[in-house]
Structure 1
């Protein structure tokens, strides 16, 4: 039988429990990855330092690696980017391709099709597009008219950039370095394909002038921050 005294006691317990902090949900431990390949170590002999990729920061499926060519009919030198999977393939031949993990931004989700690899640059200047300056006026000093941003640490294009044209017109779409290892596989910018500097240099050394670069359609969301 629920007496008045027991009812009061239960009420006090309920009130006390309502004021306590909820128990924090348990979080999964961070994944443990195997040691990185040697080619993700520091790179010497460049105009600016390129530090090693931090151990434990990069999942093996995003490592640079030779894989079976998913597009055997594509000519050698073709580059095929799957924004949804955050992967870039450089076609070596009918049987093999070099696969790289990348990070992709909102522009990468909204633009797809085939472009021409018009040219590449080592340690390129960053010339901020006019539409980005409209959103972020503080970038005006790095506009095309002002000559852009000097190469080196802090330049978001990193150590290498490949420039894509379509029907003779600059798409303003770039494949470039300076991605952080923990960015790979994620959507972190307002456009372009970002790679680790180590991978951007490797791709630059392989690239073929005039090759086709195909960006596959993606259904991932947009609305990301403006990081080129």
Structure 2
């Protein structure tokens, strides 16, 4: 049976439409052009993306190099602390921000020697964006070639070890020298490191900084 011209045209249109749908293409004056479609970004990819709006650049974090347990996430958390309390577990390398309903936002941290020098309860008495950093006398004595040149301190910026934010822990009105801060070394998260207190990925410390007000309670757990 011979098809009519109109039937042939309809078949040609149908085949063309099918090919376009399979190839993900669009028609232009130049013919068929393949278009690549990217899928939606995961929440982790979006959270750890670059932050161009910051005073200094914050690079995106390649999360494929970081154990997923140390990425920011909401977890079940039963603890005798009210919502808004920051709980630091330096030995398991986690920091929790307690939420309502037995939940907490959990962040992975890296822990330096100074991060193991304090345990107990304090308050966030100071918060700084892109903070000034001065190595402790112990750090200078331990690694003079690395730290002595910064004995008078380093201004905030891309190379500053405290990263994009810092929260300063006080107890009974006195500075404990305990810091929760960003880092220029995201691969150190989840690990014990040679120096520093409690380091977080810059995207995480920026997030925490925005959620935690001055006067917030901080509990640093003892080894259990």
TM-score with structure 1 length normalisation?
A: 0.73
Matches of 1:107 and 1:122, distance apart in 2: 21
Matches of 1:127 and 1:68, distance apart in 2: 37
The 8 Å contact of residues 179 and 195 in structure 1, kept in 2 or not, is answered as no
Matches of 1:115 and 1:89, distance apart in 2: 15
- Tell me how many residue pairs correspond in the alignment: 182
**Secondary structure of 1:187's match?**
coil
Task: Give the one of 138, 155, 159 matched to 1:131.
Answer: 138
Asked if residue 198 in structure 1 is aligned to residue 206 in structure 2, the reply is no
Matches of 2:191 and 2:148, distance apart in 1: 28
Shift of 1:193: 0.2
Alignment match, 2:11:
none
The 8 Å contact of residues 158 and 184 in structure 2, kept in 1 or not, is answered as no
Distance change in 2, residues 1:61/1:205 (3 Å): same
Unmatched segments (≥5 aa) in structure 2: 1-41
TM-score with structure 2 length normalisation?
A: 0.74
Shift of 1:110: 3.5
Alignment match, 1:38:
46
The 8 Å contact of residues 133 and 155 in structure 2, kept in 1 or not, is answered as yes
Asked if residue 211 in structure 1 is aligned to residue 216 in structure 2, the reply is yes
Shift of 1:141: 4.4
Alignment match, 1:155:
160
Distance change in 2, residues 1:67/1:55 (3 Å): closer
Larger Rg: 2
Q: Which has the higher strand share?
A: 2
Alignment match, 2:39:
none
Shift of 1:150: 1.1
